[in-house]
Structure 1
Amino acid sequence: MRNLEESLKALNEHYLEMLKNLNRMLDVNIEMLEEGKNLSSLYGECLVVEDIINAFEVNLKENSIIAIARFQPAAKNLRELVMLIDGGRLVERMGDILKKNIKILKEINEESPELALVLNKRLLPYIVKIKNVYEVYINSFINGNESLLYELIVADEKINEEANKIMHEMEKCMKENTDNIHNLARAIVLTKKYERFADHIIHLVTDLVYILKGENLRKKELLEKEN
C-alpha cells in the first residue's frame, strides 16, 4: 500500500501527463495556423487528445480525494492535493477551449481561405507567446521553481494587450468587408477564447506559487480590488 509521499508522487506524475497532453493540443492549434492543411487529421487528433485529458482528470480527482480521506494530510500536502484537483479541472476546461478553437479554425479555413491566410498569419505569433508562457509553467511545476512564475503574471498583461489589438483589427475589417462578417465574428470569438486560455494559465501559476511558497496571490488580488 502506498504511503502519502508515494501517492503524491504518482498524482504529480499523473497531473504532468495532463499538462503534456494539453501542450500537444496547443501544438495542434499552431500546426493548423502554420500549415492550413490536413485540417481533418489535426482536428481528429485534437479530439482524441482531449478525450485523454478528460479521462486523466477523472482519475486525478478520484485518487486525490482518496488520498485526502486515507492520509488526512495537513498544511502543504493538503494544499498540494487540493491544487491537483483544481488544476486537473482547469486543464480539462483548457482542453475544451482548444478543441473548440481548432474547430473554428478548421471552419474558417474551409469557408474563407483568403481570410484564413490573413488570420492564421496574425494569430500565429500570439498563440506561440501563449505556448511559451504555458511551457514555463510546466517547467516550474517539474522543477519546483517559482522564480519565473511572477514574470508570467506580467507576460499575461502583454498577451491581453495583443488580444485586444487583434480583435480591434477584426472589428475594423468587419466594417470594411461586410460580405464576410460571419467569419470575422468567429475570428473575434477565437481570439477571446485564446485570451481566456491564457488567463487559465495564470490561475495555474498562482496556485503553484501557493504550493511552493504558501503565498496566496489571488487573496492579494482580491484585497487590492477592495482597496
Structure 2
Amino acid sequence: MRTLNESLKALDEHYLETLKYVGRNFDVNLEMLQNNSFNPTLYGEAKMIEDFINSFEVKLKEDSIITMARFQPAAKNLRKLVMIINSVRVLERMGDLLKANLSLIKDIEKKSPNLAYALSEKVLPIAKKIRGLFQMYVDAFLNEDVRLLYNVLYLDEEIDDLINANTDYFLTKMKETPDNVVGGSELMLLDKKFERLSDHIIHLASDLIYILNGENTRKAELQNKGKGNQ
C-alpha cells in the first residue's frame, strides 16, 4: 500500500502529464495560426489529446479523493489535493477551448479567406503570450516558484490590452465591407476564447500561490472589491 508521500508523488506525475497534453494543444493552435490555415491532421491529434485530458481529469479527481479519505492529510497537503481537484477541472475546460479554437480557424479560412491573414498577424501574438503564461505556470509548479506566479498575474494585463486593440481593428475591417462581418466576428470570438484561456491560467496560478505560501489571492481580490463597493 502506498504511503501519503508516494500517493502525492503519483498525483504530481499525472498532473504534469495533463499539463503536457494541454501544452501540446496550445502548440497545435499556434501552428495553425502561424500558417493561417486549418490542418486536419493536427485537428485529429488535438481530438485524441482532449480524450487523454478528460481521462486524466477523472483519474486525478478519484485518486485525490481516495488519498484524502485514506490519509486525512493536514494543512498544506490537504490544500494541494483540493487544488488538484479544482485545477484539473480547469485544465479540462482549457482543452475544450483549445479544440474549439481549431474549428473557428477552419471557419475563418473557409468563409472569410480575405481575413485569414489576421490569424497570424493579429491573433497569433496573443496566443503566443498566453502560451508563455501557461509555460510559466508549469515551471512554477515544477520548481515551486511563487515569483513566477506573480509574474503570470502581472502579464495578464498586457494580454487584455492586445485583445482590446484587436477588437478595434476587427470592427474597423467589418465596417469596410459586409464581406468582412462573418470573419471579423469569428476573429473576435477567437480572441475571446484565448482571453478565457488566460483567465483560466490566472485561476491556476492563484490556486498554486495558495498552496505554496497560504495566500488566497482570490479571497483578497473579492475583499478588495467589496471595500470598493462600500
Q: Do these two structures clear the TM 0.5 threshold for a shared fold by scoring above it?
A: yes
Which residue is 1:11 aligned to? Answer: 11
Point out where structure 2 has 5 or more consecutive residues left out of the alignment. Answer: none
**What is the Cα deviation at residue 218 of structure 1?**
0.5
Q: Determine helix, strand or coil for the equivalent of 1:171.
A: helix
Q: How does 1:102-117 map to 2 (within 5 A)?
A: 102-117=102-117
Which residue is 2:85 aligned to? Answer: 85
Counterpart Cα distance in 2 of 1:36 and 1:14:
34
**What is the Cα deviation at residue 60 of structure 1?**
0.5
1:190 aligns with 2:215: no
**What is the Cα deviation at residue 176 of structure 1?**
1.3
Q: How does 1:122-161 map to 2 (within 5 A)?
A: 122-161=122-161
Counterpart Cα distance in 2 of 1:119 and 1:33:
5
**What is the Cα deviation at residue 35 of structure 1?**
1.8
Counterpart Cα distance in 2 of 1:53 and 1:77:
24
**What is the Cα deviation at residue 38 of structure 1?**
6.0
Which residue is 1:52 aligned to? Answer: 52
Which residue is 1:21 aligned to? Answer: 21
State the number of aligned residues.
227
Amino acid of the structure 2 residue aligned with 1:113: P
Whether the 8 Å CA contact 1:33–1:123 is kept in 2: the answer is yes
Whether the 8 Å CA contact 2:57–2:89 is kept in 1: the answer is yes
1:223 aligns with 2:223: yes
Whether the 8 Å CA contact 2:38–2:102 is kept in 1: the answer is no
**What is the Cα deviation at residue 196 of structure 1?**
0.6
**What is the Cα deviation at residue 118 of structure 1?**
2.6
1:36 aligns with 2:31: no
1:65 aligns with 2:100: no
Whether the 8 Å CA contact 2:54–2:92 is kept in 1: the answer is yes
Which residue is 1:177 aligned to? Answer: 177
What TM-score do the two structures reach when normalised by structure 2? Answer: 0.96
Amino acid of the structure 2 residue aligned with 1:88: V
What TM-score do the two structures reach when normalised by structure 1? Answer: 0.97
RMSD: 1.1
Counterpart Cα distance in 2 of 1:118 and 1:185:
12
Whether the 8 Å CA contact 1:43–1:106 is kept in 2: the answer is no
Whether the 8 Å CA contact 1:60–1:88 is kept in 2: the answer is yes
Amino acid of the structure 2 residue aligned with 1:48: M
1:200 aligns with 2:223: no
- The list of structure 1 runs, each at least 4 consecutive aligned residues, that deviate by more than 2 angstroms after superposition, is 110-114
